[in-house]
Amino acid sequence: MKRIIIIVLCLVLGLWLLIGCSNNDTNQPDNKETPSYNEVDEPEADEEFDEAMEELGEALSYLATPGWPEGKIPDVIPEYPFGEVTNSGDGGDGQYFILISPTGKDELAEYLTLLEGQGFTVSGDDSARLGTVAVNFQFNTKEVLQMIVTDLGTSEWPQLMGDVLPPDAGTLYGEVYIAELSKSDKEYGNYYSAGFTLVDLTEEDCVAFIEKQLSNGWEGGYDMIFKDVTIDGVDCELMLQFVQYYDGQGDFLLEAWKKQ
């Protein structure tokens, strides 16, 4: 019975907000653009909106999962020490979402410093990574922080076109993405396309990975090497390219094009 009351309350509040927004739209002059929420200079309307959102949040809290999700995210992620976890849940595809409030940007900066001290690579003011575990942050409101935890894991070094040898340093981040090429792609000359990322290595390690392939029939050097292969009876030139390096990870591209 309590769940039914909560759901009805949520629907009523949602309908109230929808009607309010519709009325505001109909009262706008034809020759004037409707200002965004942040641009409206109506304290009373803002106050009513905030109160409605608080009531809706309170109603939804009965269906929430409060508290730090211990055991549901990697242990390497320390508990956020500010505010309270109001809700969390599995988003699928290796992602886990955590809502925290009240907290602010200064407290998030302190938490990022904490992560950095525990070995995470921090990028800007909204993301951190340790191995295959990544944490991204965004503020849904001024005091509501959303943490998005992603753990793609790693896999054994796969059998790649051209017999690409595994790296001596770094870890394969997730799996190699191999594109499904269409008939038109092949008519254009593209017969193979794959991409992958290595983490926990230096830029020099990325270059060393490329140069390691020279002992296995590849030609070239530094950031781009080539090898002749045959795909579906078509002679192609296979290219392995070190695309970019940032924050302890390197991106690589492996493509085969029909020889002219």
Residue 30 maps to a domain: no
Domain that holds residue 131: 84-151
pLDDT tens per residue across span 153-186:
776 899 999 999 999 998 898 889 999 999 999 9
**What total number of domains does the chain contain?**
2
**Do residues 103 and 138 make contact, with C-beta atoms less than 8 angstroms apart?**
no
pLDDT at 17: 42
CB half-sphere exposure, 196, CA atoms < 13 A:
27
Instruction: Check which CATH number belongs to the domain holding 107 and give it.
Output: 3.30.310
Residue 227 maps to a domain: yes
Q: Are residues 144 and 190 in the same domain?
A: no
Residue 36 maps to a domain: no
Q: Are residues 146 and 213 in the same domain?
A: no
Residue 58's pLDDT band (cuts 50, 70, 90): low
Q: Are residues 189 and 145 in the same domain?
A: no
Q: Are residues 234 and 193 in the same domain?
A: yes
Q: Are residues 254 and 223 in the same domain?
A: yes
Q: Are residues 109 and 143 in the same domain?
A: yes
Residue 254 maps to a domain: yes
Residue 53 maps to a domain: no
pLDDT tens per residue across span 126-155:
999 988 899 999 999 999 999 999 987 776
- Boundary of a domain, candidates 151, 180, 210: 151
pLDDT at 56: 55
Q: Are residues 147 and 176 in the same domain?
A: no
Q: Are residues 190 and 238 in the same domain?
A: yes
pLDDT tens per residue across span 209-259:
999 999 999 999 889 999 999 999 999 999 999 999 988 899 999 999 999
Residue among 202, 199, 68, 67 at smallest CA distance from 133 = 199
The tokens describing 207, both together, are 């270059």
Quick one: CA torsion of 70, 76, 82, 86, rounded to 10 degrees? -30
Mean pLDDT of 10-38: 43
- Boundary of a domain, candidates 101, 117, 151: 151
Residue 157 maps to a domain: no
Q: Are residues 175 and 251 in the same domain?
A: yes
Residue 39 maps to a domain: no
Is the alpha carbon torsion for 35, 39, 44, 50 positive or negative?
Answer: positive
pLDDT at 39: 45
Q: Are residues 184 and 242 in the same domain?
A: yes
Q: Are residues 175 and 143 in the same domain?
A: no
The tokens describing 154, both together, are 């790693």
SS3 labels along the chain: CHHHHHHHHHHHHHHHHHHHHHHHHHCCCCCCCCCCHHHCCCHHHHHHHHHHHHHHHHHHHCCCCCCCCCCCCCCCCCCCCCCEEEEEEEEECCEEEEEEECCCHHHHHHHHHHHHHCCCEEECCCEEEECCEEEEEEECCCCCEEEEEEECCCCCCCCCCCCCCCCCCCEECCCCEECCCCHHHHHHCEEEEEEEEEECCCHHHHHHHHHHHHHHCCEEECCEEEEEEEECCEEEEEEEEEEEEECCEEEEEEEEEECC
Residue 75 maps to a domain: no
Distance, in Å, from the CA atom of 101 to the CA atom of 19, rounded to the nearest integer, reads 28
Q: Are residues 191 and 136 in the same domain?
A: no
- 180 vs 7: which has the higher pLDDT: 180
Give the neighbor-by-neighbor strand order of the sheet with 145-151: 84-92, 95-101, 145-151, 133-139, 127-130, 121-123
